[in-house]
């Protein structure tokens, strides 16, 4: 049989596997190049729902789905060629083993391992698990002190969260409490998966509010950003970005002392930290904290000179917001040669970079 990837991984426009999945206002995910082409053609409606989009639609990176697509590549074609009917029957047996109180540790681990593989590519099995009431048994495994059970159960929950209808249900079932506990005391791999799971759950707007208001959820992510390894820091920054798309969460993130930690992370090369700062600068508290961090302007200027297109875009935006509020920062930005850098970006391939560079120049030259 031929090797087939899950339909969830395919762009609704191109019908190809997505390399850079992004979410638009309607909540649907598309490959960036396909939806950008749709927008550039003058369309201002969602290709699926036909609901209207804003004049300049935001394309929000779906980091959780991108990670799942990447991980799926490690599943071999031989593993994926099992007939669908046989997989459906086998999944029921695995679910029964997982929920049975009499199942041994070894059999639970084996069931989780196989269900992870199946749910990576089969939407029907993902729904079957949630409809069977097996989520409770998976959550119990997350509560386990056993690292193997914990890591595999988190991986399964991450796969289940691919279904939009599962995202709210998982939060209602108490998954956030488990995630926060893992972020605090779990193994490095478990912490990274837990942060990725938060990112996936936060795709739904109501979950952004619920997670953000949950005690210690944001502070646990900030702590992971400060103390974690490279993978943990990247996943925690991604989760913070997803949560900060909800305006009320920005003050919460700032109040956890995140700004200086994000600046340090950005200085070490974690550009996702710059993206989070690009959201925090929209709130007054965020701007105030950024203005207190020594060397912050220098960090952003370094991104302007050496960063990716996304990093440059956000750095320009942050600098413009700060310059609009502080004459001292205007003077510092000018001393760093930012005006000249902006002039050099006038022909950049990114329309957002060109626009942000122009706005920053107007701000810098308009303040005498």
Quote the DSSP letter at residue 10: B
Write out the E strands in 19-117.
Answer: 21-23, 29-31, 60-61
Interatomic CA distance for residues 66 and 70, integer angstroms: 6
Largest alpha-carbon pair distance within the chain? Answer: 76
The two three-digit tokens of residue 248, written as one number: 């009320």
Considering only CA atoms, which of 191, 177, 269 is closest in space to residue 227? 191
Phi, psi for 345 (deg, rounded to 5) = -95, 5
Task: Note whether 280 and 286 are within 8 A (CB).
Answer: yes
For the record, the structure tokens of 214 come out as 């949950």
Cα angle 116, 177, 101; round to 5: 55
- pLDDT at position 1 is 35
From the CB of residue 222, how many other CB atoms can be counted at a distance below 10 Å?
22
Three-state DSSP at 70 gives helix
pLDDT at 89: 63
Per-residue pLDDT of the chain (368 residues; tens, 9 = 90+): 344 567 778 899 988 888 889 888 888 899 998 999 898 888 888 998 888 888 888 888 887 788 777 766 554 444 444 555 555 667 888 999 999 989 999 999 999 999 999 998 888 889 889 988 899 999 999 999 899 999 999 999 999 998 888 999 999 999 999 999 999 999 999 999 999 999 999 988 899 999 999 999 999 999 999 999 999 999 999 999 999 999 999 999 999 999 999 999 999 999 999 999 999 999 999 999 999 999 999 999 999 999 999 999 999 999 999 999 999 999 999 999 999 999 999 888 889 999 999 999 999 998 44
Spell out the domains of the chain, with CATH numbers in brackets: 7-61 (3.30.40.10)
**Residue 88: predicted pLDDT:** 60
Count Cβ neighbours within 10 Å for each residue of 45-75 and write b for 16 or more, e otherwise: ebbeeeeebeeebebbbbbbbbbbbeebeeb
The predicted pLDDT at position 57 comes to: 84
The model's pTM is: 0.80
Token digits for 82?
Answer: 């099992």
Per the listing, tokens 């994000």 go with 262
**130 vs 160: CA distance, rounded Å:** 8
Measured over the CA atoms of residue 222, residue 225, residue 231 and residue 235, the dihedral's sign is: positive
For the chain, how big is the Rg over CA atoms in Å? Answer: 22
Asked if 7 and 121 touch (Cβ cutoff 8 Å), the reply is: no
Beta-sheet strand order (sheet of 29-31)? 29-31, 21-23, 60-61
Phi/psi of residue 280, each to 5°?
-65, -30
């Amino acid at each position: 049989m031929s090797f087939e990837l899950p339909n969830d991984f395919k762009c609704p426009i191109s019908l190809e596997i997505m390399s850079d999945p992004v979410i638009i206002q309607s909540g649907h995910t598309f490959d960036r190049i396909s939806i950008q082409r749709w927008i550039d053609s003058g369309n201002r409606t969602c290709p699926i729902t036909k609901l209207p989009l804003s004049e300049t639609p935001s394309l929000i990176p779906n980091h959780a789905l991108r990670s799942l697509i990447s991980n799926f590549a490690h599943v071999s074609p031989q593993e994926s060629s099992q007939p669908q009917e046989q997989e459906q029957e086998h999944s029921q047996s695995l679910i029964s083993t997982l929920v049975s109180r009499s199942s041994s540790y070894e059999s639970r681990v084996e069931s989780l391992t196989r269900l992870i593989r199946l749910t990576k590519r089969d939407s029907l099995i993902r729904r079957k698990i949630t409809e069977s009431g097996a989520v409770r048994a998976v959550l119990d495994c997350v509560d386990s002190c056993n690292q193997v059970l914990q890591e595999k159960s988190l991986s399964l929950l991450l796969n289940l969260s691919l279904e939009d209808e599962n995202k709210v249900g998982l939060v209602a079932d108490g998954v956030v409490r488990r995630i926060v506990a893992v972020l605090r005391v779990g193994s490095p791999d478990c912490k990274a998966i837990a942060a990725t799971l938060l990112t996936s759950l936060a795709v739904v707007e109501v979950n952004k509010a619920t997670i953000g208001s949950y005690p210690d959820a944001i502070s646990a992510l900030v702590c992971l950003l400060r103390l974690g390894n490279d993978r943990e820091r990247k996943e925690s920054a991604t989760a913070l970005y997803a949560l900060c798309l909800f305006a009320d969460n920005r003050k919460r993130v700032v109040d956890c002392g995140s700004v200086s930690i994000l600046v340090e992370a950005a200085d070490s090369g974690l550009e996702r930290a710059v993206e989070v700062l690009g959201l925090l600068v929209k709130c007054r508290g965020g701007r105030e904290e950024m203005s207190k961090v020594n060397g912050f302007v220098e960090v952003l200027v370094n991104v302007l000179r050496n960063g990716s297109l996304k990093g440059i875009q956000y750095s320009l935006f942050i600098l413009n917001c700060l310059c609009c509020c502080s004459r001292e920062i205007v003077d510092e930005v000018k001393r760093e040669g930012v005006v000249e850098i902006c002039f050099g970006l006038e022909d950049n391939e990114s329309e957002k970079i060109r626009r942000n560079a122009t706005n920053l120049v107007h701000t810098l030259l308009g303040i005498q």
